[in-house]
Structure 1
Amino acid sequence: MQIAFETEELRDLCLKADVAEARVGAAHTASLFAALADIRAAATAIELFMGEFIEASENVPPMIRIAIGSYGKLLLVSNQVRHNGPNAEGVDWSQVKRVRIVEVVPHGA
């Protein structure tokens, strides 16, 4: 799958080891990069069996939450289909080949 990033800061965190190590620590950087490799290796989002699929709610699009070891989680949305509010249809994850990382959340945040 193709991965896009919500911000330049997220892109740098996910693509540059030195930035990741400074933010999440060396031990968690390996888990972050492994999760990103799994996302890239998947043909569609439905193959992300290690993720938790979250349904849309008010002002929050459907997303996938993927654990980053013991550090926290990645939050992904479809980068193909824009969600237009709580009454819009859900995403058919079996058709999604492009995702966007919108946040990296540490546990307890």
Structure 2
Amino acid sequence: MELSFDTLDIRDLCLNVQIAIEAVGQHDSFALLQRLADLAAAHDVAEYLDLFFEVSVSADDWELCIPLSSMALIVEQAHTKPPLDDSDQIDWSRVKRVKIVSLERIDD
């Protein structure tokens, strides 16, 4: 899949190991790098969802929440025209471009 980033700050956090370690710690930064590599390697979001059962889709079906350790990576589809199914929900099997929106702390 093709990855993009919502802001320069989130791009730097995701692509610069030192920035990630300083911002979220070594454990979450390692998990973040693994999840980004997994996303990039997947053909589409549906394939990614088949491999990683802990990923949740938001109630409105527009965001994915990918848990790391104490953080969660929030991801949206990044197509100019969102690929929708017959019920106007995202057709994740046709999503081949995603945007990393944020990294949020998981409340225990």
Normalised to the residue count of structure 1, the TM-score between the two structures is 0.83
Deviations 1:50-100 (A, max 9, x none): 2212231xxxx61111111x22111111101556xxxx9211000000000
Structure 1: give runs of 5+ residues left out of the alignment: none
Distance 1:44 1:18 in 2: 29
* Aligned-pair identity (%): 30
Q: Secondary structure at the match of 2:74?
A: strand
Q: Matches of residues 9-28 of structure 1 in structure 2 within 5 Å?
A: 9-28=9-28
- 2:58 alignment partner in structure 1: 54
CA contact 2:28–2:71 (8 Å) conserved in 1: no
Compare the two structures and name the one with the higher helix fraction: 2
How many equivalent pairs are there?
100
Amino acid at match of 1:33: L
Runs of 4 or more off by more than 6 Å in structure 1? Answer: none
RMSD: 1.9
Structure 1 residues 82, 104: CA separation in 2 closer, same or farther (over 3 Å shift)? farther
Structure 2: give runs of 5+ residues left out of the alignment: none
